[in-house]
Structure 1
Amino acid sequence: MKKIVITEFMDESAVASLRASFHVVYDPKLVDDTEHLIAELSNADGLIVRNRTQVRGDLLAACAQATVIGRLGVGLDNIDVAACQAQGIQVIPATGANALAVAEYVIGTAMVLRRGAYQSSEQVASGLWPRASLSNGREISGTCLGLMGFGGIGQLTAKLAQCLGMRVVAHDPMLPMDHSAWSQSGVQSVSMDQLIAQADVISLHVPLTPSTSNMLSAERIAQMKPGTIVINTSRGGIVDEAAVAAALRQGHLGGAAFDVFEPEPLGPGSPWQGCSNVILTPHIAGVTAESNVRVSSMIASAVAQALKA
């Protein structure tokens, strides 16, 4: 019976479906026990990971028998894909399965940050009535959403935004101008400078690569419209976090929602300390009860099919 090692949390029903045909080692704590993990991989035929397991170096070398790696998510920066291919290992991401969760996160945080009225519960409960100070919140309809990256998640985010009356522009040099995504979505393709000049909300949807590292630099942040909201659900390292935090303190930016950081988790002296109108979450934008089922089911099926081929 072929063996599959699962190093991070996965929907139990998907794990059970794999156990029906394979010897499954499932332990969400394996990601933090490198010695045990490498030992389990020595005779494994398949590996399933999320974003914390670093599939490279000694860990990849231990996958001498493996032929497939399933990624419970879409980003592949924690997997040395080229080395996997050279080793004859197929890498399968859960493309599209968590897109709705991320898109809803972007729209939800944008609305919360523009309105600026949802952190007053304690004041109101204590008998205060900050009505005057909370009456200047901003609506999202009629504003411009700028998407850096226009793949599947960006396109779904655009669709939700348009339903709320937002105008959407996007910058994606990897997507040809004649691609049907532009005409079918009604989203305008613009340059990076044009996006920064127009957008009231900027959301990032690109992988972390040498070309996207520090894509949203301090210089570009300074060029944004006063009051702009910045949302990052892609990867840490794409945005200059310290520059965003500084712009928030100075009152130039209107808010920020960050789900990804460099490093993760944040360490002492985080640039975000003391910032107001900020939403910080621990890399869970794409993880909901529903998306976990979709992602887990997709990867369980794909890995099983690869191992049975």
Structure 2
Amino acid sequence: MGVVEWRFEADDLARLRFAFSPMWELVASLRVLRAPARHSVHLAWLRAVRPRLEAIDLSELFALAPTYGYMADFLTPPPDTPLPDFAAELARVRLTSPEKASEEAGWVETPDTRSIDRFRADPVGGVQRVADTLGAYWELALAEFWPRVYGLLEADLMWRSRRLATGGATALFADLHPLVRWERDRLITTGTWCHSGEPTGDGVVLVPSAFRWPDIATMTEPYQPMLVYPARGVGTLWEAGPPPAPGALAALIGKTRAQLLLSLCHPASTTALARRMSLTPGAVSQHLTVLSGNGLVARRRLGREVLYRRTATGDALVSSS
């Protein structure tokens, strides 16, 4: 059993940040495909995508990201913005140096040594080939479902950010995962390998994940230090559609506005709500304006985004319906 330990100075804690990554979700989903019993929460997704995958050869990706143990880090570069898009992350994978890709491929333990040998024999072509496969796999397996996953990850990110703001690191890490703990000035995770040091670069990035559930993952130097943990509410991810609007509430304010109000159990942006509700951002914005004008939701700016949340009046209306 290994331990990864980061020692934090005051400025390291100030540089702690959150982000999420469509590329990380995509690569993590490769393990879900091959170990469905361990990831039973995603069975609905598996049933939907498996018939589509007969048209694509995933053997090289499976070799680089085996079911257990180390997977090549270049496949999942730490997100460099809070909300990266898949195209930008795929471009970063394509820019991986052949030397780094070959070295990391050599660290992978997999029974498919033929695929690893092929990749290392021509890492320049291998990186481009793997990037092409990732792009095709994204279109077949995750692009359609990304708005739903995005909404879950965004809700977790907002909840954790509030925990950090109100209770500091102790509150943030108290229930992040059983294998993660905060001790005075140290962030400690238990896993399969060892590392000890101070966070480098821009500090530690905390990345909620749907497809990594129920495990954690860490990445250290020479990459940006990163801790991946299961997002809250993964068990509800594949529930169909937005929450049903109670009849009385829908009759009072309309079905769509009732569903929006119910969806705001956690703060969310207009974009996330539009994806979750299968509406245009403009339509969501109009409904939010009405709800805000009647004191049922409030808005708050967080960086470049505006987040909406239910007010106490909105909570009372939902609970009474």
Tell me the TM-score range normalised by the shorter chain: under 0.3
TM-score (norm 1): 0.24
Choose between structure 1 and 2: higher helix proportion.
Answer: 2
TM-score (norm 2): 0.23
